[in-house]
A and B are shown apart, each in its own frame.
Chain A
Amino acid sequence: MSPLATDAAGAAALALLELDEASVGPFLLSRPFVTAPLLGFALGSPWLGAAVGAVFELLTLTELPLGGCLDLSAPIAAGSAVFLAAGPAALPLEAAFPAGLAAGWAHARVERALRARRAAACRRAEEALAAGRPPRLGAEIAGTIGVQAAAAFALALTVFALGGPALSRLWPLLPDALRAGARTALETAPWLGAGGLAASLWRRA
Chain B
Amino acid sequence: MSGLSRRTARLFLRSLLIQAGFGDERLQGLGFAWAIDPELRESYARDAAGLSRARTRHLEAFNASPAVSGLLLGAAAAAEAAAAAGAPEAVERARVVKTAFAAPLSGAADALFWGALRPLAAAAAICVFIAGRRWGWSHPLFWGAGLGLAAFNFPSLGARWLGARRGLEAGASAAAEAAALPLRRWTALARVAAGVLVFLACAGALSLPFGIRPILAALSFAAGAVLSGRSGGALKLVGAAAMLGAAASAAGLAP
How far, in angstroms, from A145 to B19 measured CA to CA in the complex? 10
Is residue B77 contacting chain A, with contact meaning CB distance below 8 A? no
Any B CB within 8 A of the CB of A41: yes
Contact: B233 with A63, CB < 8 Å?
yes
Contacts of B55 in A (CB 8 A): 125, 129, 135
SS class, residues of chain B in contact with chain A: helix
- Smallest beta-carbon distance B212→chain A, Å: 6
Q: Does B242 contact A (CB under 8 A)?
A: yes
Q: Complex formed: what's the CA distance from A144 to B21 in Å?
A: 6
Question: Do the beta carbons of A194 and B25 come within 8 Å of each other?
Answer: no
Asked if B129 contacts A199 (CB within 8 A), the reply is: no
A195 contacts B222, C-beta separation under 8 Å? yes
Is A162 engaged at the interface, CB distance under 8 Å to the other chain?
Answer: no
Q: Indicate if B235 sits at the interface (CB-CB under 8 A).
A: yes
Using a Cβ–Cβ cut-off of 8 Å, how many residues does chain B contribute to the interface with A?
88
Give the contact stretch, choosing among A9-17, A80-88, A150-158, A185-193. A185-193
Task: Determine how close the nearest CB of chain B comes to the CB of A94; give it in whole angstroms.
Answer: 10
- Complex contacts, A64 vs chain B, CB 8 Å: 110, 114-115
Contact B244 A184 (CB under 8 A): yes
A167 to B96, CA, bound (A): 54
Please list the residues of chain B having a beta carbon within 8 angstroms of any beta carbon in chain A.
Answer: 16-17, 19-27, 29-31, 33-34, 37, 52, 55-56, 59, 63, 66, 110-111, 114-116, 118-119, 121-122, 125-126, 129, 133, 141, 144-145, 148-149, 152-153, 156-157, 187-188, 191-192, 194-195, 198-199, 201-202, 205, 210, 212, 216-218, 220-226, 228-229, 233-235, 237-239, 241-250, 254-255
Q: Which of B145, B191, B237 contacts A37 (CB 8 A)?
A: B145
CB distance from B109 to the nearest CB of A (A): 11
- Identify 20 new A-B residue pairs, CB closer than 8 A, beyond the known A26-B66, A125-B55, A180-B255: A23-B19, A28-B152, A29-B149, A33-B148, A41-B141, A49-B141, A62-B228, A62-B233, A119-B23, A119-B24, A140-B21, A180-B245, A184-B245, A192-B238, A192-B241, A196-B233, A196-B237, A197-B119, A201-B191, A204-B111
